[in-house]
Structure formats: C-alpha cells, structure tokens
Amino acid sequence: MTCEEFERVLPELGDGHTIEQEAHLKSCSACSDLVADLNAISQQARLLQGSEEPSPWVWNSIEVALQQEGLIRQPHLARSQPPAPLLGWKLRWLVPAAAMFLVAFGVLMFQRGTGQPPVAEQQPPPVGVETAGLQPMAGDDLQLLKTVGERMPSMRAEYEANLRSVNAYIRDAEQSAHSDPNDEVAQQYLRNAYEQKAMVYEMALDRSLP
C-alpha cells in the first residue's frame, strides 16, 4: 500500500485498520505521525465539551421570558424563603467587592502582560482540601462554598464544579499568556476567565442572600 492509497481511505477509517493498513503504518513514519496527530486532535477536542459557562444573565432572561409566557406557575421556592438578616447583612457587601476585586485583578494581569506569577502559586494550598486529580482550591473559594453550603446545600456541588472549571480556565489562560505575553488573544482569554470567576462569585453570593 502506498501513502496516496492510505490517505485516500483515511477519511473512511474508524478505530480499526486492516492488516494491509497496519503494515503500511508500521513501515511509514509520515502516515503513522499523521494518524497519531489526528487522533490527538480528536481526543483533545472531546475535552472541550461543556467547558464554557454562560453568564448568569442568560438564565435571568429565560426566567423572565418563562414568567411572561406563563410557563412558570409557582413562585421560586428559594426566593420565597424567609431571609436570614444577620447572614445577609454580613455578606451583602461581598457581592460587588468580590466581583470588582476579581475583574480588577484580571485587568491588572492584562495590563502587566502577565509579568506576575499567578496568585494560586503564591499561596500554599489549604491542608486536606486536595482530592485526587483535582487542583486545590484557594481560601476564598472554600469560604464561598462554605457559605453556599450553609444557605443552599443542594447547590454546593454545582458551585464547586463551576469554581473548579473556572479555575482550570484561569490556569490555562495564564499559561497561554505567560508563554507569549504579546499575544492579545491570550490576554483577552485571561480577562474573560477572571470575569467568569467574578460572575460565579456574584451569582453565588447573590443567591445566598435574602
């Protein structure tokens, strides 16, 4: 089998190869490199599924539309619960503060061309919070999860998954920005990543409050 013949049948190939194709791959490094690359692209692509988080405003708009169309027939349970004034009073200032801090930090990183090491690297991980295969969470994140867990236990896992995801996004964006500080796209990704984290904080604290 020649390379041209192999490339002609390549679009039709699934995971398996015929004996003739296997023999060609063993003897031809160009074709075996090609197959390895295409497999690597395909495998990495699967990890992109569901990796992006929509802004909280999307749900707000859907909810308003559902109410206007009369599809929602019951009041929102969480919002009909009696408030806990002390907790609310203590945390209400954190909503804009946390959001502003995270966006400002992202903008600062953007302006400095990521000359500073990421915050996560400067802080030792809290003891006992690392789980196998997962990065440890910073103290602020753990505090947020604690607050969410106290007010909305059923939503804690959702917020933990969101925080882990957005932290991974930030790490990726930081790596990309570090490797090429002049890459404007990477800087934009980094800024988006911090904005997303600010949104998660804002949404979590907003929902935790009466």
Partner 1 sequence: MTDAKKQQSNKLSEAEAIERAKLGDAEAFEALYNLHKRRVYSLCLRMTANTAAAEDLTQEAFLQLFRKIGTFRGESAFSTWLHRMSVNVVLMQLRKKGLPVVSLEETMETEEDAPRKELGAEDARLAGSVDRMQLQRSIAALPPGYRMIFLLHDVEGYEHNEIAEMVGCSIGNSKSQLHKARMKLREILKTSRAEKAAKP
Q: Does 15 bind partner 1 (CB under 8 A)?
A: no
What is the identity of the amino acid at 6? Answer: F
Q: Does 158 bind partner 1 (CB under 8 A)?
A: yes
Binding residue for partner 1, selected from 63, 121, 130, 184, defined by CB under 8 A: 63
186: tokens are 């990477």
Q: Does 172 bind partner 1 (CB under 8 A)?
A: yes
Q: Can you give the three-state secondary structure of 12-58, one letter per residue?
A: HCCCCCCHHHHHHHHHCHHHHHHHHHHHHHHHHHHCCCCCCCCCHHH
Q: How many residues bind partner 1 (CB under 8 A)?
A: 53
Binding residue for partner 1, selected from 28, 176, 178, 210, defined by CB under 8 A: 176
Long-range contacts of 119-122 (CB under 8 A, 24+ apart): 120/167, 120/171
> Shortest distance, CB of residue 131 to partner 1, whole angstroms?
15
Which of these ranges, 26-34, 92-100, 107-115, 119-127, lies near partner 1 under the rule CB under 8 A? Answer: 26-34
Binding residue for partner 1, selected from 37, 150, 184, 206, defined by CB under 8 A: 37
Q: How far apart are the first and last CA of the chain?
A: 71
C-alpha distances in angstroms, 30 versus 14, 120, 148, 202? 19, 42, 54, 51
Residues that bind partner 1 (CB under 8 A): 10-12, 30, 33-34, 36-42, 44-55, 57-59, 61-63, 65-66, 69, 71-78, 158, 165, 172-173, 175-176, 179-180, 185-186, 189
